[in-house]
């Protein structure tokens, strides 16, 4: 997988793909401890390529690098900061019609809001940082 990941990263960073500035969504199942790390003001880097979607109701629970857990976390991501790490529109390259947007590895975010909805889903708002 290593060579494939390197090539995909290079495609996302340097091929002429459209960038996305609208909000995107990502849903994950995390352990309680991992979900608690996303507190307001926390800055972090997703070190892997990350998928997201333009449509909140199209989000699927993506696997994580760490252990999965019982907590569903829905990330709403503000992509208005113009930078190399804005998610890329890969619709033209996808086999199936979809509204997926993909972040290159190394995208940096800050948590701007955190709440739990009536269904017990932890809703975390993120802002993509330009550097």
C-alpha distances in angstroms, 105 versus 13, 35, 84? 9, 20, 11
Owner of token pair 């401890």: 33
CA distances from 82 to 34, 43, 63, 127, 130 (A): 28, 18, 27, 11, 6
Tokens 């330009």 belong to 130
What span, in angstroms and rounded, lies between the C-alpha atoms of 125 and 111? Answer: 6
Summarize pLDDT for 21-31 with one digit per residue, the tens. Answer: 999 999 999 99
Model's pTM, two decimal places?
A: 0.90
**The pLDDT value given to residue 67:** 63
In order of start, what are the domains of the chain with their CATH numbers?
2-128 (3.90.176.10)
Q: What is the pLDDT of residues 63-114, one digit of tens each?
A: 656 667 899 999 999 999 999 999 999 888 777 778 999 999 999 999 999 9
In this prediction, residue 63 carries a pLDDT of 61
DSSP 5-17: HHHHHHHHHHS-P
Residue 53: pLDDT band by 50, 70, 90 thresholds? very high
> Could you tell me if 78 and 23 are in contact, meaning their C-beta atoms sit under 8 angstroms apart?
yes
Average pLDDT value over all residues in the chain:
91
pLDDT at 45: 96
Average pLDDT over residues 36-42: 97
CB contact at 8 A, 67 and 31: yes
């Amino acid at each position: 997988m290593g060579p494939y990941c390197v090539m995909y990263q290079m495609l996302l960073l340097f091929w002429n793909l459209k960038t996305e500035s609208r909000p995107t969504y990502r849903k994950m199942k995390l352990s309680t401890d991992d979900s608690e790390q996303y507190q307001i003001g926390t800055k972090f880097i997703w070190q892997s390529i990350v998928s997201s979607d333009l449509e909140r109701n199209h989000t699927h629970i993506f696997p994580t690098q760490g252990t999965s857990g019982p907590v569903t976390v829905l990330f709403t991501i503000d992509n208005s900061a113009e930078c190399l790490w804005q998610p890329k529109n890969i619709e033209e390259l996808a086999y199936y019609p979809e509204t997926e947007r993909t972040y290159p590895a190394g995208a940096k975010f800050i948590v701007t809001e955190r709440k739990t909805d009536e269904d017990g889903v932890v809703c975390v708002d993120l802002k993509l940082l330009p550097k």
